Amino acid sequence: MATMLYCEATSYGTDCLAPNLHPASYSDGSVVTRDAVVNSNWRTSLPVLTGSQVRLRELRTSDAPSLFAMLTTEEVTRFISPPPSTVEGFERFIAWTLQQREAGAYVCYAVTLEGCDTAIGIFQVRQLNANFDTAEWGFAIGSPFWGTGVFAESAELVLDFAFNTLGVGRLEARVAVPNGRGKGALHKMGAVQDGLLKKSLRRNGELLDQALYSILHEDWQVSRTAQPASSTMVH
């Protein structure tokens, strides 16, 4: 699990394996190459990101019940800030994500499985400076889908979107030190630990240390050189 801001207090986290990525698709079907990277279309609506087993799309109010069921279990919340405690709380969170995306400060994707539109998790990316050069990501997947490859495939799609569409140069994540699963997930995505944030996360009345991880755009590019380039579809 990686810790990150939720509008009222929350953040999220998860599990792993590796994907064949397909292009992102947009509503009007228009296509641009990956060279046409940083664009402002995402402020109007998020592109759908599609992999071999997952489909990432913008959150909808109707996702609140499934997110409440998936992301409020003890396994998921153990090392993160508390998620909304009601379906209505998730509805408010979803409304907030749309406002922040329109403001150009933040994006949040619902994770769904190919062929099934039920949201089983989320990925968030928020800017840490005014032009998105530095950003932070957080994520959570419902525990029934840990160890299935859903996290790793979704993370690859989000990393590609962050670096090649949002224009992020440095992507950070925080994870509670006792959270071995979350740290392992970040390592598998190529993140490196930059430091230790002592007593920076309050959980169940206890202050926990967090490890600060980062992935740089140039390092991500190097890790991708052996993989074939794909085109990006924009709507």
- 65-89 pLDDT, tens per residue? 999 999 999 999 988 888 999 999 9
Buried residues in 89-109 as b, exposed as e (16+ CB within 10 A): bbbebbebbbebbeeebbbbb
pTM, two decimal places: 0.81
Q: What percent of the chain has pLDDT over 70?
A: 79
What's the pLDDT at 203? 86
Domain ranges of the chain: 36-230
Q: Beta partners for 187?
A: none
> In this structure, are residues 229 and 164 in contact, taking their beta carbons and an 8 Å threshold?
no
What burial letters (b/e) apply to 11-37, b meaning 16+ CB within 10 Å? bbbbbbeebebebbbbeeeeeeeeeee
Query: Quick one: pLDDT at residue 115?
Result: 94
Task: List Cα–Cα distances, 121 to 25, 57, 67, 153, 154, in angstroms.
Answer: 20, 11, 7, 13, 10
Structure tokens at 134: 């530095």
- Burial (CB count <10 Å: 0-12, 13-18, 19+), residue 128: middle
Signed CA dihedral, 142, 18, 62, 96: sign only: positive
pLDDT tens, residue by residue, 202-232: 988 899 999 999 999 999 989 877 565 443 3
Which of the four pLDDT bands, split at 50, 70 and 90, describes residue 38? low
- Closest by CA to 3, choosing from 111, 104, 110, 76, is 76
**For residue 17, what pLDDT is reported?**
23
CATH superfamily name and code, 36-230:
Gcn5-related N-acetyltransferase (GNAT) (3.40.630.30)
Q: Which residue has the higher pLDDT, 235 or 225?
A: 225
In this predicted structure, what is the pLDDT of residue 39?
54
